[in-house]
């Protein structure tokens, strides 16, 4: 993918995300929050009694007049009962689709285009929550595979990333938070070629170190309510960032190397590294 395309995509994504962030309806008022506003109807008047001399005046609990809402008595009778929890602090289970654009020549035998799609699974837990900010840590697994032909023979690759995302969040509202994430971890690239001149497929496994850095936002889809209410919530989370892995030089050898007469020397391929921008779109469930 050309750089200008990446820039355009990033720009469009940011634009769309910001529009989403900014183009919001006024939120519905939370029903369970006690109102401090005076009620609309005055309470029934109590007859006024002369106060004996020497009796100090009544101590009022508040300086404000208290008015009861017309249904105050009734509401206080229907409000749910929950144990408030720390707001913005939860477990999150995420599932997403990730596409990494990794223009690496070493991958050309195994993929027709420079993009690699992966399925992402992630579990995280908020460690700290202070006001609108929170910090979460988790574990994630991205896995994807591609198959094509390389010089007329079948080839495929499978890429695993096991990451430890460390995510800092800013909760703009109860239904939106943005985040920045750094996720170090490990990468495993499995490469294979089915060559007619070899008795079995030629393959190699290349582990390495991986690191992702990304930003994104989560939008609450289902589960609106008090932030401190512990309940399941469904989020939509677009995210983009940059993934990086260490490079390695695969050496393709047969699967039955010990059966080859003599010594087998592998086919030395170009350096492979899955590095490049990525975009992930996922859904998450928090609790």
Q: How far is CA 245 from the centre of its chain?
A: 20
**Should residue 243 be labelled a site residue for another protein when binding is judged by CB under 8 A?**
no
**Of the candidate residues 236, 242, 246, 285, the single one contacting another protein (CB under 8 A):** 236
Q: Is 279 in the site for another protein (CB under 8 A)?
A: yes
Contact 212, 241 (CB under 8 A): yes
Could you say which of 67, 85, 87, 108 contacts another protein (CB under 8 A)? 108
Interacting stretch for another protein, rule CB under 8 A, among 49-57, 84-92, 107-115, 133-141? 107-115
CB half-sphere exposure, 223, CA atoms < 13 A: 19
260 makes contact with another protein (CB under 8 A): yes
| Sites for another protein among residues 1-40 (CB under 8 A) | 1-2, 5, 9, 12-13, 16-17, 19-20, 23-25
Residue 264 beta carbon to another protein: minimum distance, rounded to whole angstroms: 5
Got the DSSP string for 164-178? --EEEEEEEETTEEE
Instruction: Using the minimum distance from each CB to another protein, give the nearer residue, 19 or 61.
Output: 19
13 or 247, CB closer to another protein? 13
Q: Which of 253, 275, 284, 286 binds another protein (CB under 8 A)?
A: 253
Quote the CA–CA distance of 229 and 238 in Å, as a whole number.
24
Helix (H) or strand (E) holding 20: helix 3-22
Collect contacts of 192-198 with beta carbons under 8 A, ≥24 apart: 192/155, 192/156, 192/157, 192/252, 193/109, 193/150, 193/153, 193/154, 193/155, 193/252, 193/267, 194/153, 194/154, 194/155, 195/153, 196/153, 198/254
- Subset of 160-179 contacting another protein (CB under 8 A): 175
Residues that bind another protein (CB under 8 A): 1-2, 5, 9, 12-13, 16-17, 19-20, 23-25, 97, 99, 101, 103, 105, 107-109, 111-115, 117, 149-153, 175, 193, 195-199, 202, 219-221, 236, 238, 252-254, 260-270, 279-281
């Amino acid at each position: 993918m050309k750089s200008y395309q990446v820039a355009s995509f990033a720009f469009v994504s940011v634009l769309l995300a910001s529009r989403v962030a900014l183009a919001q309806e006024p939120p519905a008022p939370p029903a369970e929050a006690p109102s401090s506003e005076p009620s609309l109807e005055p309470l029934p008047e109590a007859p006024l009694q002369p106060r004996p001399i020497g009796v100090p005046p009544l101590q009022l609990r508040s300086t404000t007049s208290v008015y009861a809402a017309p249904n105050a008595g009734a509401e206080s009778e229907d409000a749910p009962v929950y144990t408030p929890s720390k707001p913005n602090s939860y477990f999150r289970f995420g599932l997403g689709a990730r596409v990494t654009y990794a223009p690496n020549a070493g991958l050309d035998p195994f993929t027709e285009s420079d993009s690699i799609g992966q399925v992402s699974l992630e579990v995280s837990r908020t460690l700290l929550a202070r006001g609108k900010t929170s910090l979460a840590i988790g574990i994630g697994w991205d896995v994807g595979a591609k198959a094509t032909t390389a010089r007329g023979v079948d080839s495929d690759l499978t890429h695993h990333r096991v990451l430890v995302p460390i995510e800092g969040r800013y909760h703009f509202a109860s239904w939106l938070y943005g985040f920045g994430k750094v996720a170090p971890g490990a990468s495993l690239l499995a490469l294979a070629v089915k060559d007619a001149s070899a008795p079995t497929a030629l393959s190699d496994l290349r582990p390495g170190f991986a690191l992702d850095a990304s930003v994104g936002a989560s939008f609450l889809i289902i589960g609106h309510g008090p932030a401190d209410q512990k309940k399941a919530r469904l989020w939509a989370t677009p995210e983009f960032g940059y993934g990086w892995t260490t490079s390695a030089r695969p050496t393709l050898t047969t699967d039955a190397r010990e059966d080859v007469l003599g010594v087998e020397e592998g086919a030395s391929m170009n350096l492979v590294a899955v590095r490049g921008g990525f975009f992930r779109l996922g859904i998450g469930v928090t609790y």
